[in-house]
Chain A
């Protein structure tokens, strides 16, 4: 029988195929290619979910028994699944396929990164501090939130490109929805992501209180999640200011995404700190 790691490597490949079809669909405005992209995306996401469930079973088989959200490999694999789910929901709801290429590419890159030998895909036992149901809610909230904010970033980039173009309605840029639609989509994705990272911040605080006796300690990972949160709160308020629609909001969305990336990957590079994920 296949193990979860090999399922995940097939899934990586299928996300790559999805990105390819979405790109063809976009460039040539081909509905068929777009549909193939969606099909590949659905298969990849479902496969990713199957890999997740299988790995969960495997943790029991090796005698540890915990939800597979405990190290970088597992979190990257969960991120790509969340990406697939959030994107497919957006596609279904908004009937927009052009960001499919970005979503599939992001999932592909996350999984390709996860498959590097240095990441280590072994199943590891859970240290006592991580054995908490709050941790599960915390991680799930964050990764769905991050998926939404990653998509928001992609939409913002499209927005900036389209907005800067001399003739935004011709060529492949013409296949992108109007800047107004992109602007609203960014907002919808940001509020969804913001809600989830708030939930992640809150459950993280409750968990930290249970594990270490304090709900907030300004440790770098905590602080960086708060920084990210401040940036997206800025974005929501900037919308209320006259003249801050569109371009400047897109810049804040890009800045927020940079903070997300740093919170996820960069914090481990900071001095004097041991991080689990």
Chain B
């Protein structure tokens, strides 16, 4: 028995803890403050870099606190999760009260609350209250709900209200945030992203996954038909454009141009223009310069083809290519790697950097060899992702904006029009308004209603 009461108390206490706005204020501020850390400490860098920057002591602390992958750390995710629980509990906790306010049988109108309200507008008119009752009634019935007439000694009051449902606005916002969280969760669980370098003319249907060496297949193949870069007069790039063909079952199903900021979306895959580069074509020219006579002989060559050196001095085969060849710590840029077999002696490797034609002079052979007339091919670097969370996230965005508009710019309002005979035939009319959930802007609403009523009375007089 005792046990039971305690457990009820405990669960009540947990519920109340999560139902409080105080907790959400604390959580939101904590999230704001902790988020700062990840912007001060660079994320996802090499451990050695951190060690150098922060020293052993701080490095150890930062590592324990997971500051290097802060937004993915358990404690940051826990804060976010707590915020979501907070929203759910808080909303459920209040919804029943709000629901009762939104759907009561009859609203309660109390004249004294309107009297106390700071929002009034009064004017005089030459008509009698009785004469005005019908047009005023019609106006209120047309524009407000739950209208009620209350008769007084020398006149009457007409009450009406509208916008009760706008109290749901905050719930709509909170719902959208939960939906957003769901979308982000779906993205992180089921989304993935990869990269594909596709030379012009080639076709491929696999990509390399990000942060791993694994390759995954696509549900279709991509062929790159062309790639081009456009520049501004200043030399700054203006546009990167790939012409892609989407191929299924050996048939081209679609041809599309891909540029930055305008991805191709196909069968749940999103294809982005990400990078580009050049790879050497199959053919190039080898130039042999006689180191004594300076005489030059050039020969057309291609990858893997064996070529005789001038004067029967041996043979050479270009075997490989590197875009950024590293020679003793220097980046030589695009470089061909070849094997030279002299007519007498052992074969030896030869480095032929395209941009340094004199490099081979270092070897001090009979000939200096360099590569020219390289026929490059462009490749386009495609980023390809699949993210089933996106529709959910974007839906939450739309709902959130509507929620804000409802919460911020619409309100639950009650209006009271009082018509009181002042002297003889004339009537004093007072419009007043309140916002039961204390929304600003009542004054403006009251002025608008008063303006309309004045016009209606004017029309009534004229007819």
Residues of A that sit less than 8 Å from B by CB = 63-64, 124-125, 127-129, 131-132, 184, 187-188, 191-192, 194-195, 198-199, 202, 205-207, 209-216, 218, 220, 223-224, 226-227, 230-231, 233-234, 237-238, 240-241, 259, 267, 270-272
Contact = CB atoms under 8 A, between A and B. Distances in A.
Interface string B283-302: 00000000000000000000
B190 interface: no
Contact of A127 (B25, B187, B237, B274): B237
B351 interface: no
Contacts of B238: 125, 128
B397 A224 contact: no
Most buried by B among A124, A192, A213, A272: A213
A63 B32 contact: no
A227 B394 CA distance: 21
Closest 4 CB pairs of A and B: A128-B260, A230-B32, A220-B39, A125-B232
A267 B35 CA distance: 13
A64 B230 CA distance: 13
Given A198-B404, A234-B29, A205 B397 contact: yes
Contacts of B273: 128
B263 A231 contact: no
27 contacts: A64-B232, A127-B237, A128-B240, A128-B259, A128-B273, A132-B261, A184-B440, A194-B404, A202-B401, A205-B393, A212-B272, A212-B383, A213-B263, A213-B385, A214-B193, A218-B43, A223-B35, A224-B39, A226-B35, A227-B35, A230-B28, A234-B25, A234-B32, A237-B21, A240-B21, A259-B32, A270-B40
A131 B29 contact: no
Given A202-B400, A220-B39, A230-B32, 5 more contacts: A131-B260, A218-B71, A226-B35, A230-B31, A240-B21
B401 A198 contact: yes
A223 B38 contact: yes
B82 interface: no
Contacts of A210: 261-263
B390 interface: yes
A241 B26 CA distance: 12
Interface in B10-43: 21-22, 24-25, 28-29, 31-32, 35-36, 38-40, 42-43
A131 B25 contact: no
A188 B440 contact: yes
Given A128-B260, A205-B397, A213 B237 contact: no
Nearest to A233: B28
Contacts of A230: 28-29, 31-32, 35
Interface in B359-393: 383, 385, 387, 390, 393
A209 B263 CA distance: 9
Contacts of A188: 440
Nearest to B384: A213
Contacts of B36: 227
Nearest to B23: A237
Contacts of B239: 128
B234 A231 contact: no
A231 B237 CA distance: 39
B263 A187 contact: no
Contacts of A199: 401
Contact of A215 (B22, B39, B259, B390): B390
Contacts of B240: 128
Nearest to A219: B39
B266 interface: no
